[in-house]
Structures are given as C-alpha cells and as structure tokens.
Structure 1
Amino acid sequence: MRNWITALALALTPLSATAQDTGLKSLDTTDAGRAWMAVGRLDIKDGAGFCTGTLISPTQVLTAAHCLFDKITGQRIDLAEVEFLAAWRLGRASAYRAARRAVVHPDYEYSTEATASRLYNDIALIELWQPIRNTSVIPFETGDRPARGAEVGVVSYAQDRAEAPSLQEVCSVMTRTSNVLVLSCDVEFGSSGAPVFSFEGDRPRIVSVVAAKAEFNGQRVAVGTAVEDSLKLLQAELSAGRGFGVSSSQGGARRNIGARFIKP
C-alpha cells in the first residue's frame, strides 16, 4: 500500500475553519438536499471538530473509525460528546441524536499515519439513543464494492463547507486493492466517514466511506474503505453488545436528546 499511495489522515476538523469555494454542488437548499437527508454532520462537542456520517437504519450511523479517536491522545472519544445532526444545513438539522454505543472494525488500530491496516479497516457504526423516524430522512442501503473505473459520488461536509454538505455526483474508482478504493473525488478535512455512493439501481447505495485524502500519481484523490465485507460484522458486534458506550459518569440514558426536530 505504501508503495503506490501517499495518504494523509483526515483528522477531525475544527469548527472554526474558514470557508472556501470548492466548485462542488452545495446542498444548502431544501430542494437540492432532498435526496440526501440521511447524510449528516457527526459533531464532537466542545468545538473538538466533526466528521460526516450517514443513517443506514433508523438507529445506526455509518462513519469512519478514526472519527471516534482523539487525534492528540490516540484514545477513544467519550460517546457522550458525540451527536449526529441529520441533514445539517445552515444552523438547523432535521433530527438531532446522541450516540449510545459504537463499534469499530475489530482489526482497526488507530494511528495518525494512514497505514495499510488502518485504511483496510477504517469503518465504524454508531447506535443512536433513539431512532430517527422523520419521513424526510430515509436511511440509505449499502451495496457491493464497485469495480475499477466505476462511477461513484460523494456527499460530505468539510472545513470549507461545514454548514451544508456538498455533492460531487460523478467521480470514479481509479484503482482498488483488497478493501481499499482510490477515488477521483474531492474531499477535505471533515469529509472523514462521508458516504461514497454507487448510482446503479433506483436509489444511490453506499459502497464505501471516506478514510483519507491522498496523492496518487500527482493527483489529489480520496481513499475509501469498502463497506461490503465489514458492515455485517459491525452489525453483529453491535447486536452482541460489544464496542463501547457512553461513560457512566456522563449520565447514560439522561443524554437521550431525541426530541429536537426542525424542518430544514
């Protein structure tokens, strides 16, 4: 892996990052964002930063594993500090939910370096305290790993688009190896965990999550961890009660804040 790609970890993005013009299609209106309401901002409290996550069931959010680790200490972030903001746009979300439990891939090891083993397994699943049953927020299904040359798309938040997601509808799989995809997609700090969609079929399906930005043959690219082989394993781990939850010192169930619905 290190012989053919130089990857840079997409660390948590400070909320104070300055916006810039990226040329992507902004989903900052109701009409533009209607099909992508299940994509949301995954906030770490106290200004620590954010990632991107996607609802794949009323209670489960798919994201990157490294989003759940403190980039300075290397320790897991207390889930009491994590909140999913579905369809966050210009200061409002369609639903707000606190994280209850999370699992990362059993073979994932956090590192600030984008090693092969980290990229292969940089995927996590978060269980919410309460389901999101807003009829406008429809969870996405997942699909098989795309072939080399396949067209895909990414919906993500980032340091230059923190207040509304952006869509890059057509980019492509440049190459792939095992569980890792190299994509010609535009990502930036904060895009970690963003869904990579296949457009085959009647509705987009998530085939990967963004794990890193990188340089490949002199071109800026995104690196994604495939969903196909990992999701069932993560769901089984969650069903078995494995993973980690809100620390008891944070009040556990008292953090159930699932009642705030605001129309975008």
Structure 2
Amino acid sequence: MKKILTIFFIFLMAGQAHADSKLKTFRTGDDSKGWEAVGRLDFDGRSFCTGALITETLVLTAAHCMYDIDDHTPHRPKDITFKAGWRNGQAQAYRAAKAIYVHPGFALNSGDLHDRLVNDVALVELDRPVRNSSVRPFSVSARPEKGQAVGVVSYAHDRAESPSLQELCHVVARQGGVLVTSCEVDFGSSGAPIFDMTGATPRIVSVVSAKAKFRGDRVSVGTSLDGALSDLLQMASAGRSTFKKASTEPLPELTHTEYVVGISGQ
C-alpha cells in the first residue's frame, strides 16, 4: 500500500506533464462510430459499470463490478444485461449474461490495496454472440509505458445515457501491475477500457478500477492486463466460474489520498 500512495504523492506534487483533452460526449451515431463495442453493464436496474467486447461473447470489465454495490454479494448472471453502444435509450445490441469470471486473485474486502487493484478484472460471458457489423470487438495490447498517451471511453453517473471519450490522457506511473493515469473517471466508469491510441486502431491496455483525489487533483487507477487476462480467458475456456465470498463489512478506508475504491454507478 505504501508504494501506491507514494506514486500518488509524487505525481500530485510534481504536477501534470501533459495537457489532456476534455471529455467528448457521443451525441450522434457519427460521434460513436468505431466505439460501439463499449457498452453499459446493467445490474438488475440498480447500478451499472462500463464494459467492452473483446470477442463476440466476452465483455471485459472490473472484478468489483461483479458484486452488489450495497451488500457485496456476487451478482447472478441472470441479473446482468450488456448494452453495446448504449446511447440515448438505444443500444446496438442487448445481451444477457451467461457466466461471470472473476480473477481468482481478487478479493473485494482485501486490506492489501495493491492486491485488490492488480487483480480487479473480470469477464462476462454473454448468452449469445454479438454479430453486428457496427460492433467490432477490440484487440488487447501490452501495458503502456509511463508517459504514453492513452484514451478512455466510459459511462458515469452524470452521463449514464451516453458514453464519453477522453481521447488524450497519459500514464503517469506504473507500479507492479497497476497503472495511474490522468484520465477523468467517475462513478459508473469502473471497468471502462483504457486504450492505447498510438496505432491505427485503439487497443485495450487496461480497465478502470478506481479514482483518487488529492488537494483537488484527480487521478484514475487502472488494472494492467498482463497475465490477469490470460488467466481469465483460460477460466472462460474451461467454464470455471468462481467468486470469493465478500464480507458485508465496510471496505478498508484509505487516508491522506481520499481514495475511492469501487466506483460502480448508482
């Protein structure tokens, strides 16, 4: 935990080295073209997260999204709906969940912040493939270098009906499988894909796990996909869906950084 906190203090004291782009809301079909594989994961109408298709049947998101926001019990697949390209009351595809795969190293109530963040990744298997010419699953790439430009597409509590793109933000630190970025996120952004924007097409390099705030400055924390995604894909291939039971006790609090872990929308 000390290493993660040190990263935050170094970054916030040093200041931001690059100018970031502002959020751009997808108001029209043209705005969202090419991003339709990002969608909203709805949990029985009570909360939501962001997710992205990486195959026709698998949605990549954050592990903590797979637990109820109030009592921390695991969500049931039948309570989950993925809305690909959800914008202004309509989606390019609606799919129910068939199975949930949470990384086996993730524990919602772990007192070890690093372990909780580095394994905060999950896959939702859909009941039917999404085969739509306008919804193309994203490729996944190796984690980016410090200082690299990245982008994020996410929903949030105050923009739940249309996603927003921040096309230019930056990796400000890397620490043992955790990425700290300057990307703007808020409640509902959990599980949002963070993209490497340097190639011909965007490639997912991380998913949003949490946000942090210190002296008015905002940073976001992402889970690196190195190794973790391979573990999940093997679980999905074998059909091994497991959850670690979460306590109903409050999550351990972190001081000094005003850290917020678990930012599902409500």
- Determine if the TM-score, normalized by the shorter chain, exceeds 0.5: yes
Secondary structure, counterpart of 1:35 in structure 2: coil
State the 1:180 CA deviation. Answer: 0.3
C-alpha contact 2:141 2:203 (8 A) present in aligned 1: yes
Q: Give 2:143's aligned amino acid.
A: R
State the 1:135 CA deviation. Answer: 0.4
- Root-mean-square deviation (CA, aligned residues, Å) is 2.1
Could you say which structure has the greater relative contact order, defined with CA pairs below 8 angstroms and 6 or more residues apart?
1
C-alpha contact 1:5 1:216 (8 A) present in aligned 2: no
List per-residue Cα deviations over 1:62-108 (Å, max 9, x = no partner): 00000000132222111111000000000000000000011111100
C-alpha contact 1:71 1:112 (8 A) present in aligned 2: no
The two structures have a TM-score, normalised by structure 2, of 0.82
Alignment of 1:199-218 (within 5 A): 199-215=197-213
Distance 1:58 1:65 in 2: 20
Query: Any gaps of 5 or more consecutive residues in structure 1?
Result: 8-22, 246-264
Q: 1:237 to 1:52 in 2, by over 3 A?
A: same
Q: Give 1:108's aligned amino acid.
A: F
State the 1:211 CA deviation. Answer: 0.2
What's 2:195 paired with? 197
Match of 2:121 among 123, 127, 131: 123
C-alpha contact 2:150 2:169 (8 A) present in aligned 1: yes
Q: 1:239 to 1:133 in 2, by over 3 A?
A: same
C-alpha contact 1:114 1:212 (8 A) present in aligned 2: no
Between 210-219 and 97-106, the greater mean CA deviation after superposition: 210-219
Q: Which runs of 4+ in 1 moved over 6 A?
A: none
Q: 1:114 to 1:210 in 2, by over 3 A?
A: farther
Between 170-179 and 68-77, the greater mean CA deviation after superposition: 68-77
List per-residue Cα deviations over 1:99-128 (Å, max 9, x = no partner): 001111110001287822110100001110
What's 2:31 paired with? 32
State the 1:200 CA deviation. Answer: 2.3
Aligned residues: 230
Distance 2:125 2:146 in 1: 32
Q: 1:192 to 1:214 in 2, by over 3 A?
A: same
Distance 2:148 2:51 in 1: 23
Alignment of 1:129-208 (within 5 A): 129-208=127-206
What's 1:242 paired with? 240
The two structures have a TM-score, normalised by structure 1, of 0.82
